Chain A
Amino acid sequence: QSALTQPPSASGSPGQSVTISCTGTSSDVGGYNYVSWYQQHPGKAPKLMIYEVSKRPSGVPDRFSGSKSGNTASLTVSGLQAEDEADYYCSSYAGSFVVFGGGTKLTVL
């Protein structure tokens, strides 16, 4: 039950776009369309941003989008804003359990 692989950090200037990758295997990311992404600000609980690879919950800005190719999922944040600075975690269904990525700290320069 290895963790999914995410880059430890990512950054971009306000208004720019940034993409965070999440690499797994055919037993998790590549095998199911149950990839989700969470945003976590310091000291706060995670917040669901994307589910089932590319769907956005109500209230999440359309600046956030998700995709998947093979064993790698991606979260793209377009039109970066200061409040997007946070940690982002991917997760995937892996056949009766969940595996998370190690997290990516997104910095808005």
Chain B
Amino acid sequence: QVQLVQSGAEVKKPGASVKVSCKASGYTFTGYYMHWVRQAPGQGLEWMGWINPNSGGTNYAQKFQGRVTMTRDTSISTAYMELSRLRSDDTAVYYCARDPADIVVVAVKYYFDYWGQGTLVTVSS
């Protein structure tokens, strides 16, 4: 069965960086795009971007351009999302979420069929 298991909660100071991991199992990691979505406390969902685990290609939301870096390690089926120059309003639960599009056959579908459990990132001085 498809599983996305994320790294544990983080506490960071303003200006620091955070790197969240997402380990995939139960499917071919390089066969499906991976998105990152965040949710501030009591707020809605916000899309951050995606990575093509096969090529390493990325597409970031305009809001996060210059601050976010998505990478992957295919040898351990793990995707990473690093956010730099953290601010207090970056406090949120960060989710990885799989796109159902088969990378070989179709383009990104921009919806999410499997989600990680979420990683709480708290930014506080």
Interface positions of A (Cβ within 8 A of B): 1, 3, 34, 36, 38, 45-48, 51-52, 57, 89, 91, 93, 96-103
Contacts and interface: CB of A to CB of B under 8 A. Distances in A.
Interface residues of B, number: 22
Interface string B22-44: 00000000000001010000001
Interface string B61-74: 11100000000000
A1 B62 contact: yes
User: For chain B, what secondary structure do more than half of its interface residues adopt (helix, strand, loop), or is it mixed?
Assistant: mixed
A97 B45 contact: no
A100 B111 contact: no
B61 A1 contact: yes
Interface string B92-123: 00010100100000000111110111100000
A50 B46 CA distance: 18
Contacts, number: 60
B62 A3 contact: no
B59 interface: yes
A34 B47 contact: no
B111 A99 contact: no
A90 to B, nearest CB: 10
B46 A100 contact: yes
A48 B113 contact: yes
Contact of A1 (B63, B109, B115): B63
Contacts of B61: 1, 97
Contacts of B116: 45
B68 to A, nearest CB: 13
B117 A45 contact: yes
A48 B44 contact: no
Nearest to B6: A45
